[in-house]
Homo-oligomer: A and B are copies of this chain.
Amino acid sequence: MELLKKRILADGEIRPGNILKVDSFLNQRMDIALFNEMGKEFKKRFADEGVTVILTVEASGIGVACIAAQYFDCPVVFAKKYTAKNLDSEVYSAKVHSYTKDIDYTIRVTKKYIKPEDKVLIIDDFLATGEATNGMIDIVKQAGATLAGVGIVIEKGFQNGGKELREQGVHLESLAIVKSMSDDSIEFA
């Protein structure tokens, strides 16, 4: 998606540890006009999948997922990373490692929000090693639902998450795939 690649080149910042910082339009300040263009693009790429629900994980996937859901005319469910007093006990859960924060955490989705008849589109902001995505796919399987596909805003193509998902036959669509990053340049696939 050219508009997104241009924006990454204009406003993305490269930090030590293969971190691509896109806080100014994606992760903390959210450019809703851009999100709408991304939502339309996801709809185009997953038009034939019969999506009935979008699944994402808190926090930075939620904005993109909600805007995209308008084009699929479906609700969004987000997996929780942190426990709350009032979380239902009837949950699907999966263990996920965060390389950015260097911690293990458990993502949880209340069982009744994903039904066996659902066709689930997973949407997230980043795909690198695929930890969070695989955790969500695991939850879709636990629910006995169908995985319609995985829509990612930025895939780090130099890490293995995307490759592994494609080898498993997952319908993966990434709006921008970063092939390589150095201190002062970004190359797309």
From B30, B33, B84, B100, A86 is in contact (CB under 8 Å) with: B100
The reply to whether the CB of A1 lies closer than 8 angstroms to some CB of chain B is: no
Q: Are B66 and A30 in contact (CB under 8 A)?
A: yes
Interface string of A60-75 (1 = CB under 8 A from B): 0011011101100111
Chain B nearest CB from A140 CB (Å) reads 15
Chain B hits for A63, CB < 8 A:
62-63, 65-66, 76, 78
A33–B73 Cα distance when bound, in Å, is 8
Q: How far is the CA of A23 from the CA of B73 in the complex (A)?
A: 19
User: Chain A interface (Cβ within 8 Å of chain B)?
Assistant: 15, 17, 19, 21, 23-24, 28-33, 35-36, 58-59, 62-63, 65-67, 69-70, 73-78, 80, 82-86, 88, 100-102, 109-110, 112-113
Known: A66-B30, A78-B28, A110-B23. A15 touches B86 (CB 8 A): yes
Docked Cα-Cα span, A109 to B37, in Å, equals: 26
Q: How far is the CB of A95 from chain B (nearest CB, A)?
A: 18
Docked Cα-Cα span, A61 to B89, in Å, equals 23
Q: Which of B30, B58, B88 contacts A75 (CB 8 A)?
A: B30
A44 to B79, CA, bound (A): 32
Residues of B within 8 A of A84 (CB): 100-101
Is there an interface contact between A70 and B32, defined as CB atoms closer than 8 Å? Answer: yes
Q: Which residue of B lies closest to A62 (CB)?
A: B62
Q: Which residues of B contact A66 (CB under 8 A)?
A: 30, 32, 35, 62-63, 66-67
Nearest 4 pairs between A and B by C-beta?
A58-B59, A59-B59, A62-B62, A63-B66
Residues in B with CB closer than 8 Å to A33 are 73
Please give me the residue from chain B that is nearest to A112 by CB atom: B24
Asked if residues A86 and B19 are in contact (CB atoms below 8 Å), the reply is: yes
